[in-house]
A and B are shown apart, each in its own frame.
Chain A
């Protein structure tokens, strides 16, 4: 089994690509998301290295987490939808045990204290926030094929 990618692939490659809405890889992810789920990724904020509880105090780390908010007529803002991105060194690298458990869970709650949006908006996500998703798993694996210096594939996880 290959080791988990450390900060280099996650930050220098994946995060750098996805926080730029004009980058080729962001556009590719956006296109896949549109095809797979009929939704627009531009409507989402993005957070990096988010700790998410899936059962009691058990948690995993989402390498990138796209979050769409919904604000009602009274200004109440709730999380309306999420997309989880996991960064792996190859297409065959499996999820870790916590990631697999989280993938099968029906509810996720933020463990990280307070993270700002990577898009530089004035949004932040705070501990205790319950993340709603409409029952559909919207997870993608982003992987390299060799040494972690470029994204070579983006695939929907099922």
Chain B
């Protein structure tokens, strides 16, 4: 039996998520919704063994807050720096341990409609129980900072897109966090002391944020 990318895409397109537009990219389908201050994305990652079949590897989400990302992009542009951290939103989450999800279905190869439907049930549950509530919870940067500042650093490092210190500086500034100055100076001092290659970036960012 032959099951190729066109077959898989046709089945993925049956996942109707109200308000989201689908985009096909490298080993993933993105469901994207543009809001007035942010872009919300659901990523369905897969492995491709066409013409034998496909495996869905997982579902993750991110939110791209334009006011944060525009500042970061401008700083990198000034220094002509290409990020080595990979594409990420301002915040993100990977849904690997949601209760009530039968993750074992992701071990199954998708090579026909029936096989797809079995996996799709769990994908839709992750979207309903994980992705959409995440978007609802984090509608503003104030929502983000209230949650992230309660996290331990390791948890925060997986929640805020890397490089975390730069994004955290921006979020603190935009949210008028009273500890912004203290935090920003600490970040700059840390990278200066470490002679870190990111030191010029955080120094420039700190400078840029003074006028925000």
Contact = CB atoms under 8 A, between A and B. Distances in A.
Interface of A: 6-8, 10-11, 48-49, 51, 71, 73-78, 110-118, 120-130
B143 interface: no
Contacts of A48: 47, 57
Interface string B34-49: 0000000001010111
Interface of B: 25-28, 30, 43, 45, 47-49, 52-53, 55, 57-58, 60, 83-88, 92-94, 96-97, 103, 109, 153-154, 156-158, 160, 162-165, 168, 187, 190, 198
Given A48-B57, A113-B43, A120 B97 contact: yes
A128 B83 contact: yes
B87 A71 contact: no
Given A75-B164, A76-B164, A120-B103, A113 B96 contact: no
A87 B160 CA distance: 35
Given A74-B190, A75-B164, A130-B84, A124 B27 contact: no
A6 B2 CA distance: 13
Contacts, number: 113
Given A7-B53, A116-B60, A71 B86 contact: no
A123 to B, nearest CB: 7
A75 B85 CA distance: 13
Contacts of B93: 122
A11 B55 contact: yes
